[in-house]
Chain A
Amino acid sequence: MSETPSKDAAPLLALVGNPNTGKTTLFNRLTGANARVGNYPGITVERTVGRMALGDGRHADLVDVPGTYSLAARSVEEQIAIDALIGRHGVPAPDLAIIIADASNLERNLYFALQVLELGRPAVIALNMIDAAAAAGVRIDVERLSATLGVPVVPVIATQPRTLDDLRAAVNEALASRPRATEWVWTPSPGLKADLEAIDEALDGAVPAGADPQLRQAVGLWALMSIDADDELTDAPADLRLRVLDRLQRASEAGRDIDGEAIAARYAWIDRHAADWITREEVPESWTEKVDRVLLNPVAGFAVFIGLMFLLFQALFAWSDPFITLIEDGFGWLAGWTTATLPEGLFTDFLVGALIGGVGNVLVFLPQILLLFLFIAIMEDSGYMARAAFLMDRIMNRIGLHGRAFVPMLSAYACAVPAIMATRTMERRRDRFLTMMVLPLTTCSARLPVYTLIIGAVIPASYVAGVFNVQSLTMVALYFFGIVMALLAAAVLGRTVLKGPRVPLLLELPPYRLPDPRSVTRLVLSRGRVFVSEAGTVILVCTAILWGLLTFPQTTPEIDALSAERTRIELEQGPGAPSIERLESQITSEQLRQSYAGRMGRAIEPVIEPLGYDWKIGVAIIGAFAAREVFVGTLGVVYSVGEVDEDNPGLRAAIREEKTALGKPRYTPLMGLSLLVFFALACQCMSTLAAVKRETRSYRWPLLMFVYMTALAWVAAFVVYQGGRLLGFA
């Protein structure tokens, strides 16, 4: 567990409930701005804990448990809900559960509440969205509901502090009185009773120590409903698993349905009592339904959707730009100032190249990450995200991706790093990982400087059919190539490494509401913080390593000879001599050639030679691992042009003049195309890998990503170059 129980022994509360009930908003309102984000042991699910005032000066620790429709679980992620309620697998048991229930979907929310009450946990029910329910003609008799359930029911409206005070008071009182369900006592059918008895002996490893018979029975039922031949639960004791599978087998042979029996019993109880609590009247079309008639309209709906996506695109490309420039300029200024102020030497180099450069490399992603999550938070909180998934599901499903994958896919055109973080909007691990693995194939903005340079230098600026510029066509083709390859990769990976049972979609279209500024701010800031602290560390370390590879060794006989020559000319002709500048560039090139990265470039030459590249391009490709655009600067150093950008005519000329050993031009249009294809596909971005490592909490996935993309890039560039030669080009 990432948190140990606090020393002052503040009571621990678990906030549980269905998704889309306003749970996180309520959590934020109850705890203020002091939540700590940790992780559940061994998995990627975040555990958010905040301090909640109890109204009498005391505080409790409130855990925001991920929303779920049921405690039954198929995966370790889904299992968190029950673990967080009964205290299992390293998760502490709460003193009280606060069950949030959406009044406009009361029966379904009560189904979940009943499961919590079956565990024998003391609980308080926070009845949310009474206002939305009333607008839909649903009225709930809170007192009778509370009386039937045997636990307090408190109507809350997250934005009305008075209702939150009621909840605090009820929680405070319940911590002393520990109310439990009275009327609802689940009694197993004779068949289920036999099933439960048969697995009881094996339950010890699954039940917390000191569990009472009621909790034991509830966990037994949980095991019967959760374990099956292909679940992904890793903590179920082997003996329990065997026994459950045996009972499932017997049940199916006898034509019984264990799931159906348990579920129907709960709903039968709810249906029997519902008339006491709920009255529903037909109301004229609700506000949400009116809005939906536009936003889910085949024409207007897609128009709005495309407009919003355009806005997102605009934000990521244009609006983030001034901030990115500010950060880049700021760090450029800091680097310049440091170089000018500190004595020349290795330490200064390290400070500038590795540390300042590294921190800059991390922070430069922040504007796009913050903007993207601002957008996502507003879309999620307003209820629009679900509509967008409703509109897009058919298309996305056809290409094997989740309906919500379009926001990350689109964001990846700006940058894969925020896009990878945005995959969190998908609940299932497989959907997230699949989207993450193919995202970096879309044409991110860091590829543009490379494309611009190569296209400008080697692709002829002629026209096809009199109107289409070949250079522009190449650029457009590369964009298409990226998305087509991403979709192909999704199809292949989805049928191989990330093969899994096809999981059906379950989508809810919640009522529209104004986004809660606090929740939005909190989400945006926490994403930024997580990126800087976790992915940032990896990026910083990688920047330092790359700096080392490009810097060491500092002296070799060849470099020394050039330095001696420089000193000689300086002495003879004075420090302003024209040949000194050229010599300086030569020294820098020679240093790069002799550096570890240079040696690596030469070592991989046989591998990249069939693609049409030499070691110089090899070094630049290695340098580009820091970020693709570094390719341009590294080429500048290799060709002794000095500090350049992609529009530098000197670098373009140097590229055109570069010859092979046979004296032919190194950069033919065919080789340029091979290089473009390589850059379109290769995984040359340590920040992307760092983000994937952060999101998957494993080295396996970033490694797989690196290997598959780089292999794909090599093969594609090989086919382009060698195929082109066979066809007689260049």
Chain B
Amino acid sequence: MTLADLAPAERAILESIGGDRPFRRRLMELGFVPGTAVELRKVAPLGDPLEFAVRGCKVSIRRREAAAVAVERTERRR
């Protein structure tokens, strides 16, 4: 599954980051490194973009790019 498949407040572990090099690099530099926990925090009212949190740092990306990031679901936050 990918980041785009998460539901709000759902958590997952990053597996691999896809997309072209500049985006991939930038996303990793923002902390989206494989093995790290990620949480979907907000979905924009029109369904895009999505806000994620990694290590407590938040960033919003579009669904389309989120779909290039493979994750493994872990848990649901209460």
Footprint of B on A, CB under 8 Å? 69-70, 72, 74, 104-108, 111, 136, 138, 225, 228, 259-260, 263-264, 267, 271, 274, 280, 292, 296-298, 301-302, 390-391, 393-395, 397, 501, 503-509
Contacts and interface: CB of A to CB of B under 8 A. Distances in A.
Given A228-B21, A263-B28, A393 B61 contact: no
Contacts of B42: 292, 296, 509
B55 A107 contact: yes
Nearest to A298: B45
Contact of A506 (B20, B30, B36, B46): B30
Given A108-B31, A259-B25, A267-B31, A391 B46 contact: yes
Contacts of A297: 45
A393 B23 contact: no
Nearest to A403: B49
B45 A69 contact: no
Contacts of A393: 44, 46, 48-49, 62
A301 B45 contact: yes
Interface of B: 17, 19-31, 33-34, 36, 42, 44-49, 51, 55-62, 64-65
Q: Which among B19, B45, B51 has the greatest number of chain A C-beta atoms within 10 A? A: B45
A-B interface, 4 closest residue pairs, ranked by CB to CB distance from nearest? A298-B45, A394-B46, A507-B60, A105-B57
B4 to A, nearest CB: 13
A107 B61 contact: no
A296 B44 contact: yes
Contacts of A280: 56
Contacts of B58: 105, 508-509
A613 to B, nearest CB: 45
Nearest to A297: B45
B59 A507 contact: yes
B60 A508 contact: yes
B49 A108 contact: no
15 contacts: A69-B26, A69-B29, A72-B29, A105-B56, A107-B31, A260-B28, A298-B46, A302-B45, A390-B44, A390-B51, A393-B49, A394-B46, A505-B60, A506-B27, A507-B59
A273 to B, nearest CB: 13
Contact of A504 (B45, B57, B62): B62
A107 B46 CA distance: 30
A503 B62 CA distance: 11
Given A296-B44, A391-B45, A259 B21 contact: yes
A505 B23 CA distance: 9
A111 B31 contact: yes
A70 B60 contact: no
Contacts of A105: 56-58
Contacts of B24: 259
Contact of B22 (A69, A74, A264): A74
A107 B57 contact: yes
B56 to A, nearest CB: 6
Nearest to B22: A74
A77 to B, nearest CB: 13
B44 A69 contact: no
Contacts of A394: 44, 46-49
A692 to B, nearest CB: 27
Residue among A107, A271, A503, A504 with the most chain B CB within 10 A?
A: A504
State the main secondary structure of chain A at its contact with B: helix
Nearest to B62: A505
A260 B16 CA distance: 10
Given A105-B58, A108-B31, A508-B60, A390 B49 contact: yes
A107 B30 CA distance: 9
B42 to A, nearest CB: 7
A292 B43 CA distance: 12
Among A136, A274, A394, the most chain B Cβ lie within 10 Å of the Cβ of A394
Given A72-B29, A271-B55, A508-B58, 10 more contacts: A69-B26, A104-B56, A107-B55, A111-B31, A260-B17, A263-B33, A390-B44, A393-B62, A506-B59, A509-B60
A505 B46 contact: no
B45 A111 contact: no
Contacts of B28: 259-260, 263-264
Given A503-B22, A504-B23, A70 B29 contact: yes
B28 to A, nearest CB: 4
Contacts of B62: 393, 397, 504-505
Contacts of A501: 20, 22
Contacts of B19: 504
Contacts of A301: 45
A509 B51 contact: yes
A225 B45 CA distance: 36
A253 B46 CA distance: 41
A225 B25 contact: yes
B30 A69 contact: yes
A708 B24 CA distance: 36
Given A105-B56, A138-B56, A111 B44 contact: no
A40 B28 CA distance: 29
Contacts of A504: 19, 23, 61-62, 64-65
A66 B51 CA distance: 24
Contacts of B59: 506-508
A397 B61 CA distance: 12
Contacts of B22: 74, 228, 501, 503
Contacts of A138: 56
A104 B33 CA distance: 19
B49 A507 contact: yes
Given A264-B34, A394-B46, A108 B25 contact: no
Contacts of A225: 25
Nearest to A115: B29
Contacts of B56: 104-107, 136, 138, 280
* Residue from B19, B25, B26, B59 whose CB has the most chain A CB atoms within 10 Å: B25
Contact of A505 (B20, B25, B49): B49
A391 B34 CA distance: 29
A395 B46 contact: yes
A506 B61 contact: yes
Contacts of A136: 56
A425 B57 CA distance: 23
B25 to A, nearest CB: 5
A46 B30 CA distance: 25
B33 A391 contact: no
Contacts of A70: 25-26, 29
Nearest to B31: A108
Contacts of A108: 30-31, 55, 57
B57 to A, nearest CB: 4
A136 B64 CA distance: 30
